[in-house]
């Protein structure tokens, strides 16, 4: 088996060769600035941008003008959350309350904390041991002062799918805007912003086999119309919501990646689910004391997050040299603390520290899965033998 094996597709994905092929002409041939409409180079670039806008819109059932291009999901999350809050303040509206979850991506949590320093109020609702929010608690947290609810469609660490349809319906009934970071869900499970009653949705290219450094924010233009205060000024690009020269090659890549996801989502989801289950069953059939973190029923097809009793996650990662997996989100991979997502689910420090995230992807094979099973079993057994490991009861764990 050729090493290294890549199973960290939640952190990023390789660019699909078909995406790269679509992008290449826009570096050296059709290289115009999409805002330069007075000559053919600019008009060709602008046409490519609008084609990509349509490709993205089709994937999520939006209208093309509702797609605003950004540098990636972090900017999209910031623009959605800060943009709504600051526009409410600029327009003199009394609402100043945001509801979110403690398991959200740092781009959402840090944006909310920034707004708290500006005088806005934020409620962080707890999640259950399965990682899911309680809809009753969410409904109780929404007040007359609530302007925005932000809940990610799929968690980037445990792969849990939140009840987005029900959350969207609740927000619509209460007259509250609903933002969802759908970075991990796009292209993996069906996403329909109309059916889900989503008002703002964050997207990025590099999680769906597109390039890094480009993303989009869906901003509803119909009822309720969403108005955002821009984060970046200078030129009024993207309907005034995001100024700056457009990254035409990256946007073309994002559009092509979305087109491919739309074509392949059913078959790819089926294949990844089979590989994910083979990985889980293969590990658990050969090792005791291995626990799944998060709901298996409401889960992305390519995600598996496991805790290994008696083994530190970082030690396991070191022992798996040649297999690319992670102990959590890439944005906190340099930190020594355990996953804040797992802690928010009520897990003890030992279990949280022993967790490993597997992110399967488009280019993984069954042979790679079998090799990773063998490597995991061998490494865990070795670490347990070295530490004098003894199984705990389920209650202790």
Contact assessment for residue 275 and residue 366, using Cβ atoms and an 8 Å cutoff: yes
Residue 235: what pLDDT? 83
Report pLDDT digits (tens) over 46-91: 999 999 999 999 999 999 999 999 999 999 999 999 999 999 999 9
Q: CB atoms < 10 A from the CB of 367, how many?
A: 11
Size of the chain, expressed as the number of residues it contains: 397
Query: What backbone phi and psi angles, to 5 degrees, belong to 266?
Result: -70, -50
pLDDT the model gives residue 263: 96
What is the tens place of the pLDDT at every residue in 265-291? 999 999 999 999 999 999 999 999 999
261-295 CB burial, b ≥16 within 10 A, e <16:
beeebeebbebbeebbeebbebbeeebebbbebbb
Is 331 a catalytic site residue? yes
Q: What is the residue extent of each domain of the chain?
A: 5-12+264-383, 17-260
**Beta strands at 177-181 and 146-150: parallel, antiparallel or unpaired:** parallel
Residue 342 is encoded by which pair of tokens? 């797992």
Question: CA distances (Å), 196 to each of 137, 165, 167, 222, 266, in order?
Answer: 19, 4, 8, 14, 19
Angle between the N-to-C axes of helices 248-284 and 366-387, in degrees from 0 to 180, rounded to the nearest 10: 60
Backbone phi and psi for residue 11, each to the nearest 5 degrees, phi listed first? -75, -45
Q: Given this model, what pLDDT does residue 223 score? A: 84
Please answer whether residues 229 and 87 qualify as being in contact, where contact means their C-beta atoms are separated by less than 8 angstroms. Answer: yes
How confident is the model at residue 28, as a pLDDT?
Answer: 96
Question: Looking at the domain covering 5-12+264-383, what would its CATH class be?
Answer: alpha beta
d(CA 249, CA 23) in angstroms, rounded, equals 5
Fold of 17-260: 3.40.640
CA 309 to chain centre: 28
Main-chain phi, psi angles of 164, to 5 degrees: -60, -40
311: left (phi over 0), alpha (psi -120 to 50) or beta: beta
| Ordered alpha helix ranges (H), the chain | 17-23, 25-28, 40-60, 73-90, 106-117, 135-141, 164-174, 248-284, 313-319, 340-344, 349-353, 366-387
The list of the chain residues with pLDDT below 70 reads 328-336, 390-397
What residues pair up with 180 in beta bridges, in sequence order? 201
User: Which tokens sit at 250?
Assistant: 């990256």
The CA distance from 333 to 86, in Å, is 31
Other residues' Cβ atoms within 10 Å of the Cβ of residue 312: 17
């Amino acid at each position: 088996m050729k090493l290294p094996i890549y199973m960290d597709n939640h952190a990023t994905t390789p660019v699909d060769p078909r995406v790269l092929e679509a992008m290449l002409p826009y570096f050296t041939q059709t290289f115009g600035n999409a805002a330069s409409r007075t000559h053919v180079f600019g008009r060709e670039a602008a046409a490519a941008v609008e084609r990509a806008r349509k490709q993205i819109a089709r994937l999520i059932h939006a209208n093309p003008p509702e797609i605003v291009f950004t540098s990636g999901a972090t900017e999209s999350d910031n623009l959605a959350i800060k943009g709504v809050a600051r526009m409410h303040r600029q327009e003199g509206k009394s609402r100043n309350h945001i509801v979110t979850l403690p398991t959200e991506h740092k781009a959402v949590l840090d944006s909310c904390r920034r707004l708290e320093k500006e005088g806005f109020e934020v409620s962080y609702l707890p999640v259950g041991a399965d990682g899911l929010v309680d809809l009753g608690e969410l409904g109780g947290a929404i007040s007359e002062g609530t302007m925005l609810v932000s809940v990610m469609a799929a968690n980037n660490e445990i792969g849990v799918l939140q009840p987005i349809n029900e959350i969207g319906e609740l927000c619509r009934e209460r007259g509250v805007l609903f933002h969802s970071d759908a970075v991990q869900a796009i292209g993996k499970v069906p996403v329909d912003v109309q059916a889900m009653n989503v008002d703002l949705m964050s997207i990025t290219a590099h999680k769906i086999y597109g390039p890094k450094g480009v993303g989009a924010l869906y901003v509803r233009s119909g009822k309720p119309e969403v108005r955002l205060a821009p984060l970046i000024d200078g030129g009024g690009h993207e309907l005034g919501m995001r100024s700056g020269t457009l990254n035409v090659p990256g946007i073309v890549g994002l559009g092509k990646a979305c087109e491919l996801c739309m074509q392949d989502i059913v078959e790819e989801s089926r294949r990844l689910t089979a590989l994910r289950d083979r990985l889980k069953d293969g590990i658990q059939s050969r090792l005791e004391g291995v626990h799944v973190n998060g709901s298996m029923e409401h889960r992305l097809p390519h995600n598996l997050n496991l805790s290994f009793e008696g083994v530190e996650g970082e030690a396991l990662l070191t022992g798996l040299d040649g297999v690319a997996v992670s102990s959590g989100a890439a944005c906190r991979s340099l930190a020594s603390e355990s996953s804040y997502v797992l802690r928010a689910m009520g897990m003890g420090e030992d279990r949280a520290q022993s967790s490993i995230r597997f992110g399967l992807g488009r280019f993984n094979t069954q042979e790679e899965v079998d090799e990773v099973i063998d490597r995991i079993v061998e490494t865990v057994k070795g670490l347990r033998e070295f530490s004098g490991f003894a199984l705990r009861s389920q209650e202790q764990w």
